[in-house]
Amino acid sequence: MNNEIVQVNPKEFGLEETQANDLTKGLDTILKEREVLIEAYEDVMLLEITRENSATFKSLRLQISKNRTTGIEVWRTTNKAYFLAGGNFVQAISNKEQAENKRMEANLLEAEKHYENLEKKRIEDLQAERVELISPYLEDANERDLSGMESDIWEVYLDTKKKDHQAIIAARQKAEEERIAKEKAEAEEQERIKLENAKLKAEAEKLENRTKARNNDLQPFIVYIRDYNATLNLEEKEYQEELKNLSRAKTENEEYLREKSRKENEAKLKLESDMRSELEEKERINKLEEKKREKLEAELKAKTEAELKAKEEEAARIQSELNKGDTAKVKDLITDLEVLKTKYSFKSVKNQKMYTDTGDLIDKVIGHIKK
């Protein structure tokens, strides 16, 4: 804990050491009491913070608070009030003595400034007079320095502002007359527009009614009209003629459509017949293909069975060969080669020629074996 008491230097407040000691005489006893409290404070702050020690903390806090409020604070209030009363007494004497000086100074200043004040009043009166004269023609007259102008300059200035004001009035009057004339012209124009709009509205209603009627007339012929808006706006005579043409076109088109429908029905029936014929032909071709497929499958099966049988026979033959002599084997070889010449058959000319050439080679081989 830091128990050092901050020392106050009396010289910072313009006091001598002896004056400071006189002022703090009554504080010694209070500070001695506080020294005892400080020692108790240092001991109590070492205690553990518990519920049981709360009363000890509170008791010491109240004693320290009492030392401050009924000791130091009372000393401060009492001494300060004493010196404040002394200060007020000195101020009162000063005010009384200075008042006499101020009275004499004021009278002398008034005499000293007499002619200066007269000139000042003359300028103020001149300013007020000129402000009054020019105010009807100048809004910010009070804010201008008019008293400083020479008389001839003032006269010219006043005359100029009068003329400017009159010009403004004339311009306003002219603007008002123009406004009235413009409003009159606008009212007349509005009336003209109103009448024109009424006329246009009547014509529009008439046109709308005619358009509705013609829309109803033209509805059956809508697909035969090239320029609908142009047809709507034809003169009555031309419109009636166009109605006849549209009716004739509708009749001709309906006849054309009936004939076209008849021909389309005939074409449709023919197409259906052709499709049935085509379907029958496809079914016939499919049956032929099915027969070919079955035949090929049978041939493939027979070939497979033959090859299997040949393999079995070859296996039996090989087994038999093991029991034969060379002479018998040569004879069997020749026999097998002879069989190869007729064993296979080919459809393409190329393969047929190849098989014939192979037969010739087999004959040569057989001839070589016999030699």
**Residue-wise pLDDT tens digits, 188-202:** 999 899 888 888 888
- The residues spanned by each domain of the chain are 10-112, 149-226, 227-281, 325-371
Nearest to 228 by CA among 207, 213, 214, 241: 214
pLDDT digits (tens, 9 = 90+) for 104-122: 678 777 777 787 888 899 9
Q: How far is residue 231's CA from residue 245's CA, in Å, rounded to a whole number?
A: 12
- Identify the band that residue 53 occupies on the pLDDT scale cut at 50, 70 and 90: confident
Q: What angle do CA 266, 270, 273 make, to 5 degrees?
A: 140
Q: So what's the pLDDT on residue 160?
A: 92
Report how far residue 97's alpha carbon sits from residue 359's, in angstroms, rounded to the nearest whole number: 170
Q: How far is CA 142 from CA 135, 149, 273, in A?
A: 8, 15, 117
Cβ–Cβ contacts within 10 Å for residue 289, how many? Answer: 10
Between CA 182 and CA 346 the distance in angstroms is 118
Q: Which of 131, 181, 186, 193 is nearest to 161 (CA)?
A: 131
- Rounded Cα distance between 5 and 362, Å, is 143
What are the tens digits of pLDDT across the range 334-370? 888 888 888 888 888 888 889 899 988 989 898 888 8
CB 161 within 8 A of CB 136: no
The 10s digit of each residue's pLDDT in 33-52 is 889 989 989 988 888 888 88
- Kindly tell me if the per-residue pLDDT of 84 is higher than 60: yes
Backbone φ and ψ for 71, nearest 5 degrees, come out as -110, -80
Q: Are 219 and 226 in contact (CB under 8 A)?
A: no
